[in-house]
Structure 1
Amino acid sequence: MRKLNLVLAGIGALAPLLWTMPATAQGSPVVQTAPGTTRLELSVTGEAVRVPDIAIVSAGVQTRAATANGAISANRNRMAKVIDALKAAGVAERDMHTSSVSLSADYDYSEREAPRLTGYRASNMVTVRFHDIASTGKILDALVSAGANQINGPSLEIDDRAGALDEARLDALKKGQERAQLYARALGKNGARLVMVSEGGGGNMPPMPMAMRAESMDQAASTQILPGEQQVNMTLQMLFELQ
């Protein structure tokens, strides 16, 4: 939503009257402008579009056993194979970290009977940062073959987010200046002078449709992850004097 506030030159002559009026009738305080100028405030959003180049996925192992030690032991052995598979795929240790480890008891809550202990469940999850989205699906399939039975994600990100935000800033600045010149021409002014600019915030728009599809291993096809596109926004608050 554009924010537009035009204060026409010559309003200074009415200032004494405005300041003597009740606050409810005054509205916003009057901002003085130089003679012969018009004050213009704009809120402009710039965009930059990038293809995500980082995929973040959580993968791990969940095991069940009759005893707590049995569940943890089985989980530890299978998780070691998952970690080895990640390293064999070229994932650096700095790009993976343990995100959760849990152990809980399983009970049978049959109707009209006291809860009955049926075993224990252990879980270990690791969060992995992939710098090559194209190979992510193939690596996930390797993890499943190594024993992983829990996979969540992916979360797609832009590695050079700072660069994308700078591009969005320049886009917003250009749009604001062009819009100010448009108002200046429409009002018969000679031009627009930028007086002040501030950032109103920036963020990511929801990504374009992305697909993650798991194919049967018998079909010799790996899980596909399509990065799509992400739009990075930056909003600038700009103050002009139309002269």
Structure 2
Amino acid sequence: MKMSILIGVIWAMMASVAAAQTQGPVLSVSGEGQVAVAPDMAVISLGVVHVDKTAGAAMTKVSDDARALLDVLTAQGIEARDVQTSQLSINPVWEGNGSSPRTITGFEARNTVTVRVRALDGLGAVLDQVLDAGTNTFGGLRFELQDPSAAQAEARKAAVKDAMDKAAQLSAAAGTQLGDVLSISDGGNAPRPEMFAAARSADVPVAAGELVVSVRVAMTFALAP
């Protein structure tokens, strides 16, 4: 049994070497395509935190403010599908150091939600209103595309063209002729913030700027011998 496995491995290695020799020379390149687009959605993380002597009292305060926060979001036209609780916690507050016993002096309760704001022209008003409602924690803001597929498709075409242009330049410089495409793979894509513009809201000033959708591809071409 062991001998048959060894023979099988040897045959596989020989077949691989033969295939590589038959394939002939190849050229491998990578390409990148970028498309700048205006974002059409913001994702914000905000919530409330309170400290009190008892866990129940701390959580009651947080629950009251969180309820007011959710009411404000609804009043601002934010749909239920765009609001998600991302953190709900209660932890003891300790006092003391290494030279004295640590004691619990109170409890910290926290409720954080992640909110998608699809109407960017109302983002400033949303931020202004939630602060008035008692929101006292803000975990940041990022801009996204609700449907990035069109931008990704455009960037993907640009990445393939970039790779093909590189391949043509390299083969010409080497004095060889570029053949068929043997393989192509998508190296992934991701939008990133770029060139923040003056998109000012009527309330809290917010700059939406642009997102640059970047796509990378790897391609392998046959070369004429």
Any residues of structure 2 matched to 1:10-89 within 5 Å, and which? 30=21, 32-33=23-24, 39-89=26-76
Any residues of structure 2 matched to 1:1-243 within 5 Å, and which? 30=21, 32-33=23-24, 39-109=26-96, 112-183=99-170, 185-186=172-173, 192-204=178-190, 206-208=192-194, 210=196, 221-242=203-224
From the superposition, tell whether residues 45 and 238 of structure 1 become closer, same or farther in structure 2 (CA, over 3 Å): farther
| Cα contact 1:168–1:233 (8 A) shared by 2 | yes
Shift of 1:204: 2.4
Shift of 1:121: 1.1
Gaps of 5+ in 1: 1-28, 213-219
Query: Please, what is the CA RMSD of the aligned residues?
Result: 2.9
The aligned amino acid for 1:99 is: S
Shift of 1:169: 1.7
Normalising by the residue count of structure 1, what TM-score does the alignment of the two structures yield? 0.72
From the superposition, tell whether residues 160 and 181 of structure 1 become closer, same or farther in structure 2 (CA, over 3 Å): same
| Cα contact 1:44–1:175 (8 A) shared by 2 | yes
Distance 1:184 1:120 in 2: 69
Gaps of 5+ in 2: 1-19
Distance 1:113 1:151 in 2: 34
| Cα contact 2:49–2:137 (8 A) shared by 1 | yes
Segment drifting more, 119-128 vs 109-118: 109-118
Shift of 1:196: 2.2
Shift of 1:186: 4.7
Give secondary structure in 1 for the equivalent of 2:50: strand
The aligned amino acid for 1:64 is: V
Q: How many residues align?
A: 205
Distance 1:162 1:131 in 2: 17
Identity of aligned residues (%): 27
The aligned amino acid for 1:199 is: S
Segment drifting more, 148-157 vs 83-92: 148-157
Distance 2:64 2:218 in 1: 54
| Cα contact 2:124–2:203 (8 A) shared by 1 | no
Give secondary structure in 1 for the equivalent of 2:210: coil
From the superposition, tell whether residues 194 and 130 of structure 1 become closer, same or farther in structure 2 (CA, over 3 Å): farther
Tell me which of the two structures has the higher relative contact order, counting C-alpha pairs closer than 8 angstroms and 6 or more residues apart.
2
The structure whose residues are more often helix, as a share, is: 2
